[in-house]
Amino acid sequence: MNAPSKHTVFSIDAYRQGAGIAQPARQQAAPAEFLVLLLPGFSQLCLSSLVDPLRLANVLSGRDLFRWKLTSLDGRSVASASGIAVEVSGCFAEAASAALYEPQSTLTICAGEYVERHSSHELRALLRRAARAQLPIHALGTATWLLADAGLLGEARCTIHWGKMAALSETFYDLAIDDALFVRDGQIVTCAGELAAFDLAIDLVQERCGAELARKICQHVTADRWRDGASCQSVPPGLRYGSTGKKLLRIIRLMEQNIEEPLSLEEISARVSLSRRQIERLFERHLSTTPWQHYLGLRLAKARQLIELTAMPIMDVAVACGFVSSSHFSKSFRDHFRVLPSKLRAAA
């Protein structure tokens, strides 16, 4: 799956004439090199969403703009979450040590479920060396966990796949975590993975090669647009665009940011300058529910993540999700998920 060294599908002159794209002078720079570490259980969708737009940038421009090399911890093939084994080009530690001296290199980690199992002294040391060498580091999917474990995030803003967000925030409580598709902060880029990796790849192409080539890639893959990194992962379908959607999104973001100490509907109303009745109508029209039911669902969804992905005591989970008593929490959880929190913890 390594990028070929030459592309002969289009000549650059033919592409310029056909697409009307002027080649920026910055494209004359050496190819950007991505050293990708695949961890067991990684998402193939995430990997393809990153690599294919870079491949198309090479093909459509007729230039070798991006290169990538797939590696694993032991140099052997890696099984993805779908069970399909992907061949790699070598061992990550060896390749990363060499990349420290390559100014065009970027370390990219692609991880899936149970990412914490792959933490090791060797990997932490290697990531810290890369950070000291000012090498760009991209963490895709759940790989943000490994950067936090290595102490590389500090006060940096970051994101992670929403399914791991609650566990990350409770395990590394001093992190500035955004519910975003991807976040750039200095040399570190964190990405929610899956299709958000496509948005990150297009952003990289646009930064290096211009917006026209980015648009051509989207056209090629029949995507009508790419999303800004600051877009929320948790946006309900159909609400990303339009003024009404933006109003509802603002309310939902307030709810998500105030899980431990839930806001009353009156407090939300005052913050968003809408009446209680207007808020109720928005939720009924777009989500077929009430504000209270949606808010409760957000709190219980976070509680389920914490029960399944952390060792927090059930009572601590209840408090972290805004419940004042364990009995109220247990009843609400059972009504919503049809299982008691204690039984879910036992099965996890």
Tell me the average pLDDT across 266-286: 91
pLDDT tens digits, one per residue of 146-196 = 999 999 998 889 999 988 988 898 889 888 888 889 999 999 999 999 999
My answer on whether 214 and 252 are in the same domain is no
Residues forming a β-bridge with 184: 189
Q: Which amino acid is at 178?
A: D
Total residue count of the chain as it appears in this document? 348
My answer on whether 184 and 255 are in the same domain is no
Q: Is residue 180 part of a domain?
A: yes
My answer on whether 202 and 267 are in the same domain is no
**Percentage of the chain modeled with pLDDT above 70:** 88
pLDDT tens digits, one per residue of 6-43 = 333 333 343 344 444 444 444 457 899 999 999 999 99
What pLDDT sits at residue 228?
Answer: 78
What sign has the CA pseudo-torsion 33, 113, 88, 91?
positive
268 vs 271: CA distance, rounded Å: 5
In this prediction the pTM is 0.73
CATH number, position 97: 3.40.50.880
My answer on whether 145 and 191 are in the same domain is yes
My answer on whether 212 and 254 are in the same domain is no
Q: Is residue 308 part of a domain?
A: yes
* pLDDT value at 213 more than 90: yes
Q: Is residue 235 part of a domain?
A: no
My answer on whether 164 and 262 are in the same domain is no
Domain count, the chain: 2
Assess contact for 78 and 40: CB atoms under 8 A.
yes
pLDDT tens digits, one per residue of 50-79 = 999 999 999 999 999 999 999 999 999 999
My answer on whether 55 and 198 are in the same domain is yes
My answer on whether 209 and 73 are in the same domain is yes
Q: Is residue 327 part of a domain?
A: yes
Q: Is residue 309 part of a domain?
A: yes
* pLDDT value at 4 more than 50: no
What pLDDT sits at residue 233?
Answer: 72
Residue-wise DSSP of 81-117 = TTS-EE--SSBHHHHHHHHTT-TTEEEEEEE-TTGGG
Confidence of residue 238 (pLDDT cuts 50, 70, 90): low
Coil, helix or strand at residue 37: strand
pLDDT tens digits, one per residue of 98-135 = 888 777 899 999 999 889 999 999 999 999 999 998 99
152 versus 232: the higher-pLDDT residue is 152
What pLDDT sits at residue 179?
Answer: 84
My answer on whether 201 and 265 are in the same domain is no
CATH number, position 262: 1.10.10.60
Assess contact for 127 and 187: CB atoms under 8 A.
no
My answer on whether 216 and 256 are in the same domain is no
Mark which of 157, 185, 220 sits at the end of a domain.
Answer: 220
pLDDT tens digits, one per residue of 86-101 = 999 999 999 988 888 7
Q: Is residue 232 part of a domain?
A: no
> Within its chain, how far is the Cα of 190 from the centroid?
6
332 versus 21: the higher-pLDDT residue is 332
My answer on whether 203 and 294 are in the same domain is no
Mark which of 220, 255, 275 sits at the end of a domain.
Answer: 220
pLDDT tens digits, one per residue of 283-313 = 988 888 999 999 999 999 889 989 988 888 9
Q: Is residue 3 part of a domain?
A: no
234 versus 84: the higher-pLDDT residue is 84
Q: Structural domain of residue 277, as residue ranges?
A: 243-347
My answer on whether 186 and 142 are in the same domain is yes
Q: Is residue 337 part of a domain?
A: yes
Tell me the average pLDDT across 205-220: 92
* pLDDT value at 240 more than 70: no
What pLDDT sits at residue 234?
Answer: 65
Coil, helix or strand at residue 32: strand
